[in-house]
Amino acid sequence: MIRTRQVLSGKLAKEAINSAEISWPSGRVFAPFFADRGSDNGTARAPQVIAATLGITGPVAIGALTGHAEFGMIASLGGLALSSDGKGKAFRERARGLIYTIAAGSAAMLTGAVLAGQGMRSAICIPAVAAVAGLIGGISRPLAQAMTRFILYTIIAANLGIRGVHPLGVMLLFFLGASWTAGLSLALTQLLQTIRPAPISRTPAGAAPPTRPSAAQLFHRWRKSLTHLSGWQYVLRIVPCLFAGQAFDCLWPYHHSYWVSITVIIVVQRDLRVALPRALQRATGTTIGVLLTGLLLLGSSSMWAAIAMIAVLSTARPILKEANYTAYAAVMTPLVILLLDFGREPSWAVVVDRLAATFAGCTLAVTFGYLMWSRIHPPARTAVKG
């Protein structure tokens, strides 16, 4: 009987700790960006899955119906950027996180669209932009994730290859798609909470809520880290990889070689202690995803078949993200390729280009982004996370 009571009390305490909400003071507007840990349990919920599916698939379907596939594709990229965000428990925290992601993504699309077609200037500016964003991302984990996404979407926007659309128009289409997805996520979450209210949090007696460092403390820690090599290590790893990727583009033009830079951003990790295993997982998943894309595209060239594939992959993406990272990368890769090539005729040549660029990007990420740096700066001494 005593053992049973101890087990039950332990379970109740664990549930209470997991369900306890930690709210930031209302005056700290930028609290979500300056948090070291998220307040969500990391599991995919029904509103997020539905918002991801409709937020990504809806714009491309509307673009196909109206005869403007490229416009729908750009808007769907906004849905892609937002479909995994907004998982905080408090409504205001979710809303602020989504707003910040929309702002960062829109700025990235504008930056990339301005740099598009600039030749050598673009080849120099993209690594420079990545260097600045990488440094800013060292302040906190949410900022690291936001800045990684900023770099990724800057590269994508710079290589969309859509003519006749002003950079502000590209940003606006992305903004509309992202806002559509954010609105869906918030509305569905509120609807679910109305139908099935969350249990009342019960904090155990004497248990103090975990504290988070303030924005000032994080900024001070970041500024101090810049006086050491560890504070610059991510930038010193990512920039050479991007320059090498740009050189690959110059040596092998018209072959979707910008995918090298995209692969580099996806594969390179800030923390060297987890860099190699995660790089291998991402490389394996990305390679499988490229091959899967070839089978999907060449199996049916219909635009509506592509939309159906996008819907299935959009649904699976948030579910697999927390379940299996390799499977998530394998699903994410064909989803991005289907969106970027939406409305274009598929071919094996494109699949081979993507596969070659993926191998090149993974090789650069592992060599310049990990192996060479690990000899200079051992992983055990690296403290920057992202």
DSSP summary character for residue 162: -
CA distance 210 to 24: 12
Query: Domain range holding 329?
Result: 36-195+230-381
- Segments of the chain with pLDDT less than 50: 1-43, 380-386
CA distance 109 to 111: 5
State which amino acid sits at residue 111: T
Written as one string, the DSSP assignment of 205-269 is: TTPPPPP---HHHHHHHHHHHTTSGGGGHHHHHHHHHHHHHHHHHHHSTTS-THHHHHHHHHH--
The pLDDT score that the predictor gives to residue 379 is 55
Cβ atoms 17, 210 nearer than 8 A = no
The pLDDT score that the predictor gives to residue 55 is 92
Predicted TM-score (pTM) of the model is 0.79
The pLDDT score that the predictor gives to residue 383 is 44
The kind and range of the H/E element at 110 are helix 91-115
Is 302 within the bounds of a domain?
A: yes
Structure tokens at 16: 């209470």
Is 24 within the bounds of a domain?
A: no
The pLDDT score that the predictor gives to residue 72 is 92
Tokens 């500024």 -> residue: 223
The pLDDT score that the predictor gives to residue 198 is 57
The pLDDT score that the predictor gives to residue 40 is 42
Is 215 within the bounds of a domain?
A: no
Is 77 within the bounds of a domain?
A: yes
Is 25 within the bounds of a domain?
A: no
1: CB partners within 8 A, 6+ apart: none
Is 28 within the bounds of a domain?
A: no
- Our count of domains for the chain comes to 1
The pLDDT score that the predictor gives to residue 192 is 77
The pLDDT score that the predictor gives to residue 210 is 61
The pLDDT score that the predictor gives to residue 385 is 43
Instruction: Express each pLDDT in 234-259 by its tens digit.
Output: 999 999 999 988 888 777 776 677 88
Is 30 within the bounds of a domain?
A: no
Q: What is the dihedral of CA 275, 279, 281, 286, to 10 degrees?
A: 150
The pLDDT score that the predictor gives to residue 54 is 92
- What Cα–Cα distance (Å) separates residue 112 from each residue in 153, 167, 278, 308? 7, 8, 27, 29
Is 23 within the bounds of a domain?
A: no
